[in-house]
């Protein structure tokens, strides 16, 4: 089983709609969780950290489910500029110094 | 503040040649990471330094790859000799390991093509 698994998509989303996707991780001892955004031919950039109680940043909401070992990202009122690949990132345990990256969920917002 | 700076942005070279990629981490960050990204394999960690010391190089593909961090503000990733299958985007990232959960900050990457 891969450390971090994501459905690559693409997720075609009408502008203004809501899109949500999950990411599963294999190591129950993982400590830290992040969503990164990567635009085509660009570097990954931190979108948001994911906290145990769930957290929101504007139109973006992240949730963590430790029991089922998944994290989720929800984007409300999608904008054309939200089109990107969203990488699920999980820290490996025992030092928190290595991150495992999923291959990403590709989101395409359609006018 | 300046982010992570990588050079060159693009490199095209013939197989067998030596390739050197460079990275300047964010000032004050004490951890530095080298990644490789391809369509097939996604983002893979090659090596990670903490306080200029290599901590985990288990991701380095083979002996043709080597990395150094002579000081806190500079690191290199070298491939010698290069092969076409090394073609990828190579990212450098840095982080301040102050508390748990600190994110990594990526450079713009080096797009490497080996002909």
Identify all chain A residues contacting B98, using CB atoms and an 8 Å cutoff: none
Cα dihedral: B106, A30, B51, B98 (round 10): 90
- Average pLDDT of B56-67? 91
CB burial of A78-106 (b: ≥16 within 10 Å; e: otherwise) equals: beeebbbbbbbbbbbeeebebbbbbbbbb
A:36-55 residues touching chain B, CB 8 A cutoff: 42-46, 49
| Residue A96 to residue B106, Cβ atoms within 8 A | no
Q: What is the pLDDT of residue B97?
A: 79
| A82-105: pLDDT as tens digits | 999 999 999 876 655 678 899 999
Identify all chain A residues contacting B100, using CB atoms and an 8 Å cutoff: 31-32, 96
Would the pLDDT of B56 be above 80?
Answer: yes
The count of other CB atoms within 10 Å of the CB of residue A110 is: 11
| A44-82: pLDDT as tens digits | 999 999 988 889 999 999 999 999 999 999 999 999 999
| Residue B101 to residue A96, Cβ atoms within 8 A | yes
Q: What is the pLDDT of residue B1?
A: 63
Q: Is the dihedral of CA B6, B10, B15, B16 positive or negative?
A: negative
Provide the token pair at B25.
Answer: 């981490």
Q: What is the pLDDT of residue A94?
A: 60
| Residue A46 to residue B43, Cβ atoms within 8 A | no
If DSSP states are collapsed to H, E and C, what string results for A53-82? Answer: CCEEECCEEEEEECCCCEEEEEECCCCHHH
Q: What is the pLDDT of residue A109?
A: 97
The count of other CB atoms within 10 Å of the CB of residue B73 is: 16
Identify all chain A residues contacting B56, using CB atoms and an 8 Å cutoff: 97-98
CB distance from B31 to chain A under 8 Å? Answer: yes
Q: What is the pLDDT of residue A110?
A: 96
Provide the token pair at A6.
Answer: 């994501």
Q: What is the pLDDT of residue B100?
A: 65
């Amino acid at each position: 089983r891969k450390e971090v698994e994501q459905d690559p998509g693409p997720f075609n989303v009408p502008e203004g709609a809501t899109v949500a996707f999950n990411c599963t991780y294999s190591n129950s001892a993982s400590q830290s969780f992040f969503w990164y955004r990567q635009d085509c031919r660009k570097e990954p950039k931190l979108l948001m950290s994911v906290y145990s109680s769930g957290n929101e940043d504007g139109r973006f909401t992240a949730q963590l489910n430790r029991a089922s070992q998944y994290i989720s990202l929800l984007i409300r009122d999608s904008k054309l500029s939200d089109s990107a690949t969203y990488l699920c990132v999980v820290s490996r345990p025992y030092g928190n110094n290595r991150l495992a990256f999923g291959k990403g969920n590709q989101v395409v917002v359609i006018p | 503040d300046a982010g992570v700076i990588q050079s060159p942005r693009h490199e095209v070279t013939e197989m067998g040649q030596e390739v050197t990629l460079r990275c300047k981490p964010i000032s004050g960050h004490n951890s530095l990471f080298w990644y490789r990204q391809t369509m097939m394999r996604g983002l893979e960690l090659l090596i990670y330094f903490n306080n200029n010391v290599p901590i985990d190089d288990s991701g380095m593909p083979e002996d043709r790859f080597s990395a150094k961090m002579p000081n806190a503000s500079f690191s290199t990733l070298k491939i010698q000799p290069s092969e076409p299958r090394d073609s990828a985007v190579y990212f450098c990232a840095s982080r301040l390991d102050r508390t748990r959960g600190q994110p990594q900050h990526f450079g713009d990457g080096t797009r490497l093509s080996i002909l």
